[in-house]
Amino acid sequence: MMILLIGAVCFHGQVSSAVITAGKRCLISVLPSLYLFSIIAAFSVKAGLLETLAQPFQRVLKTDAVLLMTVLFSQIGGYPVGAQLVHGMYQERRISEEQSRILICPCMGCGFGFLLASFGGNTATALFVWMMMSIPNLILALFLIRNIHTEPRESRQKKPFALLLTESVESAASSMLKVTSMILAFSAVMGIAEGIFSDLPVIVRSILEISNVSEYAQRGGSPALTACLLSFGGICVHLQIGAVCENHIAWGKFWLCRMVTAGMTYGLCILGGNILMSGKIPVFLYETSVTDGQDVTFRIVPGCCLLLMSVLVLKKYDFCNKILTNHKK
């Protein structure tokens, strides 16, 4: 910790620039794209929506359909959404802690919405890459979850829809604040690293922080390797998932699984590109930014989301009353 403090002082310029850039990325990209999916994920667990969706497939599949539905939803929602689903099931006592450590390994996808924005609105390319990234996770899930079965939901009085929705929004707010806090903290460390090494290779920076993959693609990087890096997710995303899961992760097994799925994605992209696209996968990754000419609502709405999340988290943990109580003492 002392080394980080010294580094932050010595390279305050790089740290400041990295944190400001990360903060803009959280407001412009992360919160708008993930907050709604995070609410849906929390509601799916609390209201038993996953069980309802899985019922038609339960008789056909030999494995637990609820778990496969969880893996599939994680591929659609985005990187931390799968972790929120798994952790929610663990908190509901549907799966054990050891089972949650196994299930989290394939429940990681960058989400189709993120890919669509990253590939410049090219739906065909985004869909192709999304499939090449999702298939390895689904294959991995079939091997990992074959001996895992969810426990029946505890018999309890059914909560009204309004209460379930409120609890889901509060849970999503807590998860998103963990994610954004980890992004900001990791960006500061990246600023120190860039100050020390001055010019880290873009591949290394992409492995550490996945948002750097746009720079790699813009420099003419391999499209298949770009998809491979997106499948791996980056260390910063892994730490976000650890924060959402409250560190209920077997890191060695998790990283091994991410490397396996990333390798499979690379191979599938090469094979699929040769078959479907004559070996060419067009990539139009870009760094999202806000210019002065853009609509002011594009700046205000994400900030309102952040303010709402902060208020909900304060309400959930009753911080204000605790502060007043301690002050009176």
What's this model's pTM, rounded to 2 decimal places?
0.77
Q: Reduce the DSSP state of residue 84 to 3 states and report it.
A: helix
pLDDT band, very low/low/confident/very high, at 296 (cuts 50, 70, 90): very low
Contact status, residue 217 vs residue 205, Cβ threshold 8 Å: no
Instruction: List pLDDT tens digits, range 302-328.
Output: 455 555 555 555 545 454 444 445 544
Residue 7: is its pLDDT beyond 70? no
Which of 39-53, 140-154, 312-326 has the weakest average pLDDT? Answer: 312-326
d(CA 31, CA 89): 23
Domain assignments of the chain as residue spans, ordered by start: 19-146+163-321
Of 126, 87, 128, 121, whose CA–CA distance to 104 is shortest? Answer: 87
d(CA 108, CA 254): 10
Residue 252: is its pLDDT beyond 90? yes
Radius of gyration of the chain (CA): 21
| The pLDDT value given to residue 154 | 59
Alpha carbons within 13 angstroms on the beta-carbon side of residue 222 total 13
Instruction: State the CB neighbour count (10 A cutoff) for residue 105.
Output: 25
Q: Reduce the DSSP state of residue 92 to 3 states and report it.
A: coil
Instruction: List pLDDT tens digits, range 174-198.
Output: 888 888 888 888 888 888 887 887 7
Contact status, residue 130 vs residue 75, Cβ threshold 8 Å: yes
| The pLDDT value given to residue 265 | 93
Q: Which is more confident, 24 or 70?
A: 70
Which two tokens mark 165?
Answer: 């929705």
Residue 160: is its pLDDT beyond 60? yes
d(CA 258, CA 265): 10
Residue 268: is its pLDDT beyond 60? yes
Token pair 């067009």: residue: 282
d(CA 256, CA 252): 6
Q: Which is more confident, 224 or 308?
A: 224
37-55 mean pLDDT: 79
Token pair 């997710």: residue: 233
SS3 for 242-287 is HHHCCCCCCHHHHHHHHHHHHHHHHHHHHHHHHHHCCCCCCCCCCC
| The pLDDT value given to residue 282 | 47
| The pLDDT value given to residue 111 | 72
Q: Is the dihedral of CA 169, 173, 176, 178 positive or negative?
A: negative
Q: Is residue 239 classed exposed, middle or buried when 0-12, 13-18 and 19+ CB atoms within 10 A define those classes? A: middle
DSSP labels for 128-152? HHHHHHHHHHHHHHHHHSTT--PPP
Contact status, residue 125 vs residue 277, Cβ threshold 8 Å: no
pLDDT band, very low/low/confident/very high, at 119 (cuts 50, 70, 90): low
Phi, psi dihedrals of residue 3, rounded to the nearest 5°: -65, -40
68-88 mean pLDDT: 85
**In Å, how far are 64, 163, 258 from 177, measured between CA atoms?**
32, 21, 24
| Percent of the chain's residues with pLDDT above 90 | 10
Which two tokens mark 279?
Answer: 């070996």
Spacing of C-alpha 229 from chain mean position: 14
